[in-house]
Amino acid sequence: MNICMVTNSRNGSIFSNNIIKANAQLGNNTDIFEIDYDKSVQEEQNRLLAVIKHKKIDIVLFLNDFRFPDQTFFLNETIAQKVDCRLWVWDAMHDINDLKNHIYLYSKIYSFEINDILRLKEYYSIEGEYLPLFAGPEFYASPRTSEDKQDIDIFFIGTIAGIQKRLEILEAAAKLAYEKNYKMLVLWRIWHNHHWYQRIIGKWKFKHRYPYLSKYVENKVLVPKDVIEYYKRTKINLNIHIEGHTCYNCRTFEVVANNNFLLTDRQNICDLKLEEGKHFDCYSNTRELVDKIQYYMNNDDKRNHIANEGGQLIREEYNLVNALKIIFS
């Protein structure tokens, strides 16, 4: 089949290569359509229609229900009449009670968030399907072995600016790292970095608010292949879901897939085969987080056994090829 994936710059840079590789394993051709928000919604809709016609697209898969800044939905009736349009929600659906008739334009809807599925049924009588964000080929192609050096004890990568839950949890982990002399690293865009004075002021403010965490942060953005290497270099990879998400995010699968150990905040397990203490481990508060970090830092064999069991499960059950099989069936 000829598949067109509609995404944006945020999702596109992270997931496009993995989608293309996974879809190729199914014998499908893939075109990535990245929405340009600098153009009008009509221009972009017409550009997509041209791709559908020129590439003889069979299915358009939307990786989120995209809207333009004026809140106009990208998908319209003209596009839906030309081709089978399906939706895979890679972020929780927002304002789900205000989707109007637009939501009926999708022939199938999948989401990693079970609450989306329940609310689609409640508000629109739509039978959506729960589908987690499985790991792409790049994330399970090179499982960690005992020969891989692990020079980082605790690692987290992701947005933390303005996300109080993540900041509080990471500050607690950083305090422990400082007291126990663990090697900890937190990466992503943490303060504005466009000018020298922004770097100085941003770093000073962050240090004042988070005295322990500030010792371990680097204002640095990585490409996916580098993220994969950091996961492998780390003994304990942390996952911290943002408020509003109740099911496990893509990081859960991407970390574990290459035999890396994951310690994550507890979410709704739904019907996943992942088992706490067997394939990964979980915490519900900072006290439990601190206790488990210390436990796994002192129990290498247990930590590595869990990591290996989890990696095998993800590669067999929760890889992106299997997800796309479901979507395109």
Cβ neighbours of residue 212 under 8 Å, at least 6 residues apart? 171, 174, 175, 177, 178
Q: Report the C-alpha gap between 327 and 217 in whole angstroms.
A: 38
DSSP letter at 94? S
Please give the chain's pLDDT, 329 residues, in tens. Answer: 999 999 987 655 567 888 899 999 999 999 999 999 999 999 999 999 999 999 999 999 999 999 899 989 999 999 999 999 999 998 777 677 677 788 999 999 999 999 999 999 998 999 999 999 899 898 888 999 989 999 999 999 998 888 999 999 999 999 999 999 999 999 987 755 555 455 556 666 888 899 999 999 998 888 888 999 999 999 999 999 998 889 999 999 999 999 999 999 999 999 999 999 999 999 999 999 999 999 999 999 999 999 999 999 999 999 999 999 999 98
Q: Report the C-alpha gap between 79 and 264 in whole angstroms.
A: 40
Q: Report the C-alpha gap between 128 and 133 in whole angstroms.
A: 15
Model pLDDT for residues 169-227, shown as the tens digit of each residue:
999 999 999 999 999 999 987 755 555 455 556 666 888 899 999 999 998 888 888 99
Q: What is the pLDDT at residue 196?
A: 47
Q: What is the pLDDT at residue 31?
A: 95
CATH 3.40.50.2000 corresponds to the domain 139-317: yes
- Let me know the angle formed at the C-alpha of 159 by 32 and 168, rounded to the nearest 5 degrees: 155
Q: Closest Cα to residue 260, out of 314, 224, 217, 216?
A: 314
All structural domains of the chain with their residue ranges: 2-131, 139-317
Q: What is the pLDDT at residue 117?
A: 94
* Reported pTM: 0.91
Q: What 3-state DSSP class applies to 111?
A: strand
What is the identity of the amino acid at 155? F
Number of Cβ atoms within 10 Å of the Cβ of 321: 15
Q: What is the dihedral of CA 20, 245, 75, 158, to 10 degrees?
A: -50
Model pLDDT for residues 136-150, shown as the tens digit of each residue:
898 888 999 989 999
Cβ neighbours of residue 148 under 8 Å, at least 6 residues apart? 232, 233
Contact 318, 132 (CB under 8 A): yes
Residue ranges in 26-151 assigned as alpha helix (H): 41-54, 77-82, 114-124, 137-140
Third-level CATH fold of 2-131: Rossmann fold (3.40.50)
What is the residue whose two structure tokens read 């005295």?
211
Q: What is the pLDDT at residue 201?
A: 63
Q: What is the pLDDT at residue 98?
A: 74
Question: Which phi and psi (to 5°) does residue 214 adopt?
Answer: -60, -20
